[in-house]
Amino acid sequence: MDKARRVILFPLPFQGHINPMIQLANILHSKGFTISIIHTRYNSPDPSNYPHFKFHLLPDQVSEDEASKHDILRVLHLLNTHCIPLLRECLGKLLSAHHDICCMITDAMIYSSQAVAEDVGIPRIVLRTSSVCSFLAFAALPLLQQNGFYSHLNLPLDSRSWEDPVLELPPLKVKDVLGIHIKNLNDTLNIINDMIQGTKKASGLIFNTFQDLEEPNLSNLQEHFRLPTFLIGPFHKFFSAASSSLLTQDRSSISWLDTQKTNSVLYVSFGSLAAMDGKTLIEVAWGLANSMQPFLWVVRPGLVQGSEWLESLPNEFLEITSERGYIVKWAPQQEVLSHPAVGGFWTHSGWNSVLESICEGVPMICSSFFGDQMVNSRYINDVWKLGIKLECGFEREEIESAIRKIMNLKEGQEIREKLSCLKEKIDGFSSTPLNALSDFICSTR
């Protein structure tokens, strides 16, 4: 590169979106780009961890109350309405101060930034932090709505129709698609539609995924999104996400794993946003206890509604599992999954977690809460066959059975063999897609 070029990045302020955006920033910096990051006060990254980046704060209007409730739809609404004038002002100042800005990369969910980019005259490239398969499922939701699909919402929860296939979106089932929405269905569908339309107007599209995993979906992607697309993941193979963690990582989890036998421990973590009630937590606990398997369990403060931390767990469970279970508030996940003691991962099926598990060859048990997690877990179980999806939600008998299969039986071994083959392809990673992205960014202005 003849001279440094500046790229502006604007992440969505949730952990699962901040991590890949910061990783992408590091990747681009390693290719010689100068990096400026626009960020909100809500879930702000720590600039001291990245002295090689320039940070620019938007005085967003997300209140502490909204932040504490993890009201995702509300945060998305504020980002795409109230924060847009602030973004326009910030970009104007940056363009006046720097003449080497070539583009802005924003999270796909900050769809209103497309109009701002057009107004100030810089190209916008979209980073979609999910899988290609879930992105395509999202893109199909407005059509499903037109076809009357959401009449299924009136079905009783025990209806067999919840298990029916969605013919327009194989291999998804009705319950998978209905689980995508967060709270308000219409608001969710409107935001998804705006995200899809904003992406179609962008100059380019980046995914944190890799071709060997999602090959069958790529022709469909190119048919519906006719813009330059770059699959340059897994990002964490370039740079760890540890420095962008919003929660303090308990490194005693690694010390505890050091005392365990190879492939003996089930790692359990449901991510940074999932929430469950006390009854569900107890089903999880007894499923773990009854499996007789050693486990490392992340119980994040806020995971259980109305609970500070572990007070919802029965004393009997804590006594029974004290010799083979270890509970922490947050863990250094990449290190955990790469530890030789870990033989399985019970996950919420968030995309970053899925990629990290695949890269370390760790079979998955999949529970999903909302959004792309529903699609990811279905593909893991039905298409990629890299894990087992808990079809009944959180029932201790199914949990116990899945743990035994993954950790001790033939099913788990077959998954390990499949993951081993996939891991070899990842380890032989080609730099071609990244070089293509670098060249594309340089050509945008």
CATH of the domain at 278: 3.40.50.2000
Residue 1, pLDDT above cutoff 50: no
Say yes or no: 210 and 257 in one domain: no
Q: Are residues 330 and 213 in the same domain?
A: no
389 and 341 both lie in a single domain: yes
Residue 413 belongs to some domain of the structure: no
Quote the CA–CA distance of 220 and 132 in Å, as a whole number. 10
Mean pLDDT of 227-232: 96
Q: Is residue 422 part of a domain?
A: no
Residue 419 lies in a domain: no
Q: What angle do CA 18, 274, 58 make, to 5 degrees?
A: 30
327 within some domain: yes
Q: How many domains does the chain have?
A: 2
Q: Looking at the structure, do residues 183 and 273 belong to the same domain, yes or no?
A: no
Answer whether residue 359 is part of any domain: yes
Are residues 273 and 222 part of one domain? no
Report yes or no: 304 and 296 within 8 Å, Cβ to Cβ.
Answer: no
Same domain, 293 and 338: yes
395 plus 268 within the same structural domain: yes
Query: What would the pLDDT profile of 259-269 be if each residue is shown by its tens digit?
Result: 999 999 999 99
Cite the DSSP H helix spans in 296-391.
315-320, 333-338, 351-359, 372-378
Q: How far is CA 421 from CA 98, 209, 354, 414, in A?
A: 46, 17, 16, 11
Confidence at 73, pLDDT banded by 50, 70, 90: confident
Taking 60 as the threshold, does the pLDDT of residue 237 lie above it?
yes
On whether both 144 and 31 belong to a single domain, the answer is: yes
Task: State how far the Cα of 278 lies from the Cα of 343, in Å rounded to an integer.
Answer: 27
In a domain, 417, yes or no: no
Q: Is pLDDT at 374 greater than 50 in this prediction?
A: yes
List the domain range (segments joined by +) for residue 113.
6-243+429-443
- pLDDT reported for residue 158: 60
Mean pLDDT within 9-14:
95
Section 212-236 average pLDDT: 92
State the average pLDDT over residues 19-34.
96
Give yes or no for a contact between 8 and 101, defined as CB atoms under 8 angstroms apart: yes
- Residue that has been written with the tokens 């363009």 in this structure: 95
d(CA 322, CA 295): 10
Q: What is the DSSP letter of 235?
A: G
Say yes or no: 273 and 391 in one domain: yes
Q: Are residues 200 and 267 in the same domain?
A: no
Q: Residues 299-321: pLDDT tens digits? A: 999 899 888 899 989 999 999 99
Which pLDDT tens digit goes with each residue over 257-303?
999 999 999 999 999 989 999 999 999 999 999 999 999 999 999 89
The reply to whether 131 and 263 lie within a common domain is no
Same domain, 271 and 335: yes
Tell whether 423 is covered by a domain.
no
Task: For residue 69, name the pLDDT band (cuts at 50, 70, 90).
Answer: low
User: Whole-model pTM?
Assistant: 0.94
Task: Flag whether 424 is in a domain.
Answer: no
